[in-house]
Structure 1
Amino acid sequence: MEDFVYEGYNGVMCVEAGGPPAGTGCGGYVVGQTVKLLKEHHLLDDTDVVIFDVLGDVVCGGFAAPLQHAERALIVAANDFDSIFAMNRIVQAISAKAKNYKVRLGGVIANRSKDTDQIDKFAKRVGLNRLAHFPDLDEIRKSRLKKATLFEMDKTPEIELVLKEYMMLAQSLWNGTDPIAPNSLKDREIFDLLGFD
């Protein structure tokens, strides 16, 4: 287990799937194999919470493999057209998986965004809930460069607000989110909804 599991901040056990060098293989296959490895070693059995962080707007079934093991899927998106266009595709993928697996959509998290107006407009139209909003703060970027969680960073008023939002989201997810079944839009409808006149 120590060969592929790393203990991070506060006892969080982490696994990085990695992938082949760019242009030489299938990253989705690697994700699927990682899930298989975790199951073979029973690493999903004795955990309180398992979080898979995977790419979204891809048609590859390998990247969607973790959905087969999930109860809830959350979409993380920025407040811009391209992110929302990708979010719509992810809604479609989760809806397709929900036909054969127990996974259901739990909501959307606005990330790296000053505002949430476009996400909220899309969410209202398709029947999604926004669960949290994380602004585009330089402190968040710095924490990644320092390989540290925000909880390990020097406390500033901005970081304190973000930590409060993370804890609110964590408590909400721990309590359980109601499953939702949003209706995705056709590509043209997204342009009509969010495009300029």
Structure 2
Amino acid sequence: MKRTKRIAIYGKGGIGKSTIVSNIAAAYSKDHKVLVIGCDPKADTTRTLVGKRIPTILDIIKEKREASTEDIVIKGFGNVKCVESGGPEPGVGCAGRGVIVAMGLLDKLGTFSEDLDIIIYDVLGDVVCGGFAVPLREDFADEVYIVTSGEYMALYAANNICKGIKKLKGNLGGIICNCRGIENEIEIVTEFADKVGSKVIGVIPRSEMVQKSEIDAKTVIEKFGDSKQAQLYKKLSESIYLNEEFVIPDPMGVDEFDEFFRKFQ
């Protein structure tokens, strides 16, 4: 029986997880059946795949007690199946609750047992909250990739995510460097990956094409399909698909992390 590849993409809020997820999903869609599950309360993961924001699971079940697969799974570019878990209003409730509810409902509806080649989760990088740990803790995902830049707070969050992965005995497949254009960025991220026992699996440079595509609610793959930027997303998707090297990370302590980062200043 064919095994579905189940990928979780983690990272600090605003680091570009959704851009990475939507573009690699678009790249996979040419040859694979793909499901994308947005586990960020902002519910913006699938906007560039569908061309608009879609209703979240939390919103749908507020309106109707019995939600169907057709209610919550929307097809986007390349027939990618798209789901958004959603979250509470800012300042009200636990942001991870949407993930817990979404996973339970998708499991109940048999969504995970469908004929899928790849499932990708876009997860906010606060694995301290139980909701955001669900894809790993409940065995919905088999491999994890962390998106970061070379900035202090992005790497600090990445190191904390490594602590969560280690605690949950997850499989870290690599670090994705989503560049912000700071000095020595690739060197910083490469050394960070080495410090935690992993590797850089892909480097995505800063590009105006990302913003132009997102203004039109499209992926770079769809809007600028022949561009170098699109080719880099395709290369990243292939590297992740073919990757067979996984580790339980060895995160740095707080003092060790600060010492590591100071040497680049």
Query: TM > 0.5 between the two?
Result: yes
Partner secondary structure for residue 111 of structure 2: coil
Partner amino acid, structure 2, of 1:104: N
2:181 paired with 1:78 = no
| TM-score, length of structure 1 as denominator length | 0.90
2:211 paired with 1:144 = no
Q: Which has the higher contact order (CA 8 A, sep 6+)?
A: 2
Partner amino acid, structure 2, of 1:37: L
Residue number in structure 2 paired with 1:91: 162
Q: Write the distance in 2 (CA, Å) between the matches of 1:97 and 1:119.
A: 23
2:122 paired with 1:48 = no
Give the deviation of 1:135 after TM superposition. Answer: 1.4
Partner secondary structure for residue 256 of structure 2: helix
Q: Write the distance in 1 (CA, Å) between the matches of 2:193 and 2:105.
A: 35
Could you tell me the percent identity over the aligned residues? 32
From 83, 96, 100, give the equivalent of 1:32: 100
Q: Write the distance in 2 (CA, Å) between the matches of 1:163 and 1:183.
A: 32
Partner secondary structure for residue 139 of structure 1: helix
Residue number in structure 1 paired with 2:12: none
Q: Number of aligned residue pairs: give it.
A: 190
Offset from partner CA, 1:60-114 (integer Å, 9 cap, x none)? 011110113111011011111111100000001011111xxxx311111011433
From 242, 246, 250, give the equivalent of 1:179: 246
Q: Write the distance in 1 (CA, Å) between the matches of 2:225 and 2:202.
A: 20
Partner secondary structure for residue 84 of structure 2: coil
Q: Which has the higher strand share?
A: 2
How much is the aligned-residue C-alpha RMSD, in angstroms?
1.6
Q: Which moved more, 1:118-127 or 1:182-191?
A: 118-127
| TM-score, length of structure 2 as denominator length | 0.68
Q: Which runs of 5+ in 1 are unaligned?
A: none
Instruction: Answer whether contact 2:177 2:200 (CA < 8 A) is retained.
Output: yes
2:202 paired with 1:132 = yes
Name segments (4+ residues, structure 1) moved above 6 Å. Answer: none
Compared with structure 1, are the counterparts of its residues 155 and 105 closer, same or farther at alpha carbon in structure 2 (3 Å cutoff)?
A: closer
Compared with structure 1, are the counterparts of its residues 154 and 170 closer, same or farther at alpha carbon in structure 2 (3 Å cutoff)?
A: closer
Q: Write the distance in 2 (CA, Å) between the matches of 1:64 and 1:144.
A: 28
Offset from partner CA, 1:13-70 (integer Å, 9 cap, x none)? 0101111110011120111111111111111112111111010034101111011311
Q: Write the distance in 1 (CA, Å) between the matches of 2:124 and 2:78.
A: 25
